[in-house]
Structure 1
Amino acid sequence: MEKIPAACAMGWSIELEKGLRSRKPGHSIEAINLIGPRLKQWSREPQTTMAVYNMYALVPGEDRLFADTILLRLADAFVSGNRETKISVMRVFLSILRQCKRNDRQAHGIFTNMSLENRLELLRRVKVVLTAESVESRALTLVLLGCWADIATDVAEIRHAILSTLLSCHVLEVKASLFAAGCYSENSDDFASVFLESLLKLMNSSKTLPALRICGARTFSKMGCSTVLAMKAYKMKGVKTVSADYLANFASGYACGAF
């Protein structure tokens, strides 16, 4: 009988730890790349029932403990690792995010049932990189936090960091902030409403580069089909020039009877 992810959790956690601790060149990256598909597989699995626990002789909840350990180890690797390590960790979660979107979020997700304490600890460990000297490191952190929108949307400190970075003078950092803000807007109309004002100011600024305008315009489509947001976008200055994609999205929503 093929083992399910819950039954493999201990082994996967141990393998990841050994790989990250290895001093052999490339072994830590290999370990991260190996755990990525495993976490994607785990995200596709339904919630583990008591019957399944009994079938595999598992202790209920033990698999969640190992899942949390894996996620925290990846966070530590991201914080302490070099550029290649940070990119590898970010790609793991970006891949999981894309999978969830393709499945219309039918998968239960790797963060499901993660304790509030561990969620906050995960964010606490990673957010220190937002103050790094490297612009690329800060940008990668913003993308990672965007992938973690399911557990961070309501965290005021993270929300503020994403919105304030829209004012950065570094294009790479602003693009990463737009990505993260788009992810949070999908989860929260409240955040989307605040973000909309910042986004339109960015789009209307004469100092905004064309590349950022394009990136910003694409972000409008992530704000859903809220009537309140539609009216807010329509009333704000510059809507005809900066939010055509956004209003088109609302128009299609009306046509489909979404409102």
Structure 2
Amino acid sequence: MERISAACAMEWSIELEKGLRSKKPGRSVEAILEIGPRLEQWNAEPQLTMAAYNMYGLIPGEDRLFANTILLRLADAFRLGDKHTRLSVVKVFLSEVRHRNNQKSRPYSGILSKLRVDNHLELLRRVKLVFYSGDVESRAFSLVLFGCWAHFSKDSPDIRYLILSSLVSSHVLEVR
């Protein structure tokens, strides 16, 4: 029997953490880019029922816990990383948005929906730190992430203010 994404989530989370902590040059970017297709695969699968939890030996809610862990690790990598790391995190979420937009027939209920991201305020806070402390390029990357997380970032008045104030910025990269 093929394992579903929720059953692989702990392994994926550990692999991402190992890759992010690796001292090998480029390994952190590689680990981030590897998680992208896995998130897309996870989004394509329906939410689990109790029968599925029992069949795969999962504890109810375990999949959400590891999804949130992966998202927080990506947000931390974005906050603490260099330009290449930030770009790779943005690529992962842009790819997920493109994949999501190809399936417009049904309402979105993937791992980035507000109902499934338990700690969306913490994700926004970590990216907001980069927005306030970074250069123009970092602010532009932060704005892209806020757009990718529109399902839950639209409810934050701080984020709405950041986006609207960026529209009148003197930097073209930020406005775009």
TM-score, scaled to structure 1: 0.65
In 1, the alpha carbon distance for the partners of 2:123 and 2:63 equals 18
Which SS does the other structure have where 1:127 is aligned?
Answer: helix
For 1:64-213, list aligned pairs within 5 A: 64-104=64-104, 106=106, 108-112=109-113, 113-116=115-118, 118-175=119-176
Q: From the CA coordinates, give the structure whose radius of gyration is larger.
A: 1
Q: Aligned letter for 1:18? A: K
Give deviations 1:2-33, integer Å, cap 9, x for gaps: 10001001000000000000010111011001
AA at the equivalent of 2:149: W
- Could you tell me how far 1:111 is from its partner in structure 2? 2.1
Structure 2's unaligned 5+ residue stretches are none
Post-superposition offset of 1:132: 2.7
1:16 and 1:115 map into 2 onto residues whose CA distance is 18
Q: Which amino acid aligns with 1:166?
A: L
Alpha-carbon separation, structure 1, partners of 2:78 and 2:109: 24
Paired position in structure 1 for 2:49: 49
Sort the Cα spacing of 1:57 and 1:133 in 2 relative to 1 into closer, same or farther, 3 A.
closer
8 Å contact from structure 2 (residues 111, 117) kept in 1: no
Q: Are 2:10 and 1:14 equivalent residues in the alignment? A: no
Q: What SS does the aligned partner of 1:146 have?
A: helix
Match of 2:155, SS state, is coil
State how 1:28-39 maps to structure 2 within 5 Å: 28-39=28-39
Q: Cα–Cα, structure 1 residues 100 and 133, in superposed 2: closer, same or farther, change >3 Å?
A: closer
User: CA shift at 1:131, angstroms?
Assistant: 1.4
Alpha carbons of 1:151 and 1:5: their partners in 2 closer, same or farther (altered >3 Å)?
same
State the superposition RMSD in angstroms: 1.2
The code of the aligned residue for 2:25 comes to P
- Work out whether residues 33 and 88 of structure 1, in 8 Å CA contact, stay in contact via their aligned partners in 2: yes
Tell me the percent identity.
62
Shift in CA distance, 5/43, structure 1 to aligned 2, threshold 3 Å: same
Instruction: Name the CA distance, whole Å, in 2 between partners of 1:101 and 1:23.
Output: 36
C-alpha distance in structure 1 between counterparts of 2:129 and 2:36, whole Å? 23
Match of 1:26 in 2: 26
TM-score, length of structure 2 as denominator length: 0.95
